[in-house]
Each structure stands twice: as structure tokens, then as C-alpha cells.
Amino acid sequence: MKEELITKAYEVAKERYAALGIDVEKVMEQLQKVAISMHCWQADDVIGFESGSSLTGGIQTTGNYPGKARNMEELRSDILKAASYIPGKHRLNLHEIYGDFGGTFVDRDQVEVKHFESWMQWAAENGMKLDFNSTSFSHPKSGNLSLANPDKGIRDFWIEHTKRCRAIAEEMGRCQGDPCIMNLWVHDGSKDVTVNRMKYRELFKDSLDRIFATEYKNMKDCLESKVFGIGLESYTVGSNEFCVGYSVQHQKLITIDTGHFHPTESAADKVSSMLLFVPELMLHVSRPIRWDSDHVTIMDDPTLELFQEIVRCNALDRVHIGLDYFDASINRIGAYVIGTRAAQKCMLRALLEPLAKLREYEAAGQGFQRLALLEEAKALPWNAVWDMFCLKNNVPVGEEFIAEIEKYEAEVTSRRN
């Protein structure tokens, strides 16, 4: 009965959108191809599998909801469970600290491809492709400066770490037959007034030059900026201007993290500017509240505008989408599902936008008509299309996944001490 209702609503929606020149079937085909990189660190609050590490580097996870993943088996199980409630085929984004270290200590400058071979095998078996991140935080040598550290020994340590991460990403990309996107973000900065900003940025630039000296074919480098971190409020070495300048000069991807800018900045507005000067973009989508607080992504205006801008720029093939939040205050599998489905809903709404007519109005200077259609488009029956998309992908429609996740919590995660 429910399937019949979904089909009826979908047929009505198809006609409504067709009247505006939108082929809903084509839109669903486009959405099916959009792979979102799920972030492994939501499952365990960014702890990873190194022994005795605690979260540092200007970031923090808030909340103590029971049942977080305690080891690799639990983490993988949770990720697969979350993915089973999300329509489509998606990727997994790994931080270096999630390597398969076999219970032994492997320092960051000693990490090798072998520590991620089981991940590559697991990903292949489960139809997921991998992305990767170097990890400069949560380490005795992290401090406030890593790749920008004046101490040669510490800086060389992090350079070697990041070089090895690129080699791992290259092997991931080769094995999966699709480039692995490797993100480079460091927390480097200062809590208080800094009088030698140039020095640290010169060091950071030199570190990047050394790291990127080796060319690879099966991975893509992206550089991520940040406005500040907790305990590093006054100065960030890898500012937006630094990362944009470096990426443009060296044709690296730029990572736009929606929580890494001033509260009044629009991440969406950056898309068209950056795409004119770099080959591709990487997105880290979260929901900042007052700062980079990494709340679960929802279908809010900033996220919708970001995805609309991707479609309006005709850049689906030039923008990689990943999530980056770590909410420990609610069920972590639920957080995965809410955030990923919200991102997909935003993409669907962006693809369903009556763009041709809107552009026609804009070109003719018909401001009233443009604004009127933008407003009316908000009430179009996109949700009927979303329900059909979920149905076709054999995942729960609407709120059905809530009970499924509650069941998994009762039977699995609640029994973890």
C-alpha cells in the first residue's frame, strides 16, 4: 500500500516538474551517480586506532552518547549499517590514524601502504571506494605547529608523515581504479598575538613544496584552510588566502569545509570563483553553529545553496563531496544517516531547480519573475521524488530508518561498555 502511494505521488511530481521543463527521471539518474564520501571519524569521535591518543589540534568532540565504535571491527560494522539506510553507492573517507596497525605502535612517520591493505580489501568487498587524509593532530609532536614548525626535527617528521600518506592514497587509487582524494589540513596556529606570521607561512609553503615533489597518477591532492581552532584563535598559518594562493599556483584541489570560515561568509559563493582557477574542488560538509562545531549536516539553507551552486556552475564532475562532522551527543549511526541523506536531498533539490527558466528571467532583467519562481520552487514536490529514489534503491523511505537504527542500538551498540 505504501509503495502504491509513493508511486502515485511520484507520478504527480513528474508532471508538475515536466511543466517546468524538468525531466525527473534524468535527475534521478544524475543523483544516482553522486557519491558522497562518508567520514570514518563520526563512528568513534575522531579517536582512531593508535593506542593512548587523545583529540588535540584545535578541534573537539562534544557529548558522551554510549555505544561508540571501540575497534576496527565495530567501526566497519557501524559504517556498513549506516550505509544500508542511504540510497546509492558511496565512498569512505579515512584518516591516517585509522590504519590497521595490528595492535603495535606505528609512529606517523613510519606508516606504510601495508597498514591500509585490509581497508582496501574491505572496501572492494563492500563496493566502496576510499579517500584519505593525513593526520597532524593528536600526537606528542603535534603541539601548535606541525608543517610550519621552526624545529627542523618536528617539521621533517610531519613532512615524512604526509609524504607517506600520499603514497598510501596513490595505492588506494590504483587498487580501486579511481583516484583517491587526499586531503591535507593542519591545525597550525597560535592562541595569541603573532608577530612573525610570514615566517610560519614560509615554512608551511616549503613543507608543501617538499611533500608535493613526487607526482602521482592515482590520487589527487587537496588543501584545506581554516579560520581558527580552539586554543589557536588568533592566527592560522593555513588561512583561506594561503591555501587558495598555493592551490592556484600549483593546481591542487581546494577543500571547502563549510565550518572553516567566518560566520557571515558564504561557502556557496566560493564555488564559482575557485572553479575558475583550480581544476576541482573537495567539499567537507558540516553544520557550523557559531564556530566549526561540526554538528550533523541537515537540509538547511547554507547546505542547499552550496549544492545549488555546484549544479548552477555545471560542475558535478569537478566537485567531490565529503562529510565532516563528529557529533557524540546522539546515536552515531543515526548521525551518519541523517547527514548523508540530508546532503543527498540538497543535491536532489538543486538538480530539480527550474534553472533554464530562472536564467531566462535573469538574462532579461526580470527580477520579480526570477524571485517569484525561486520562491515557488521551494514548494515543488521534491519530496515525492526523494521517496521514489529511496524506494528504487531499496532503502527505508521517510522516517522508517529510525526504528531500524533503534533496533541496531538495542542489539549491538548499547552492549558496548
Active-site amino acid positions: 185, 224, 226, 257, 260, 284, 292, 294, 324
- List, in order, residues 6 or more apart from 82 with CB less than 8 Å away: 38, 333, 336, 337, 340
Say if residues 344 and 31 touch (Cβ distance below 8 Å).
yes
d(CA 86, CA 90): 9
- Binding-site residue numbers for Mn(2+) are 260, 292, 294
Which strand (E) or helix (H) includes residue 360?
Answer: helix 355-363
Say if residues 305 and 270 touch (Cβ distance below 8 Å).
no
C-alpha cell at 196: 612573525
Q: Which residues pair with 232 in a beta bridge?
A: 229
The amino acid present at 393, given as its one-letter code, is N
d(CA 33, CA 72): 28
Say if residues 400 and 390 touch (Cβ distance below 8 Å).
no
Cell 564555488 appears where?
271
Counting Cβ atoms within 10 Å, is residue 373 exposed (0-12), middle (13-18) or buried (19+)? middle
DSSP, res 303: H
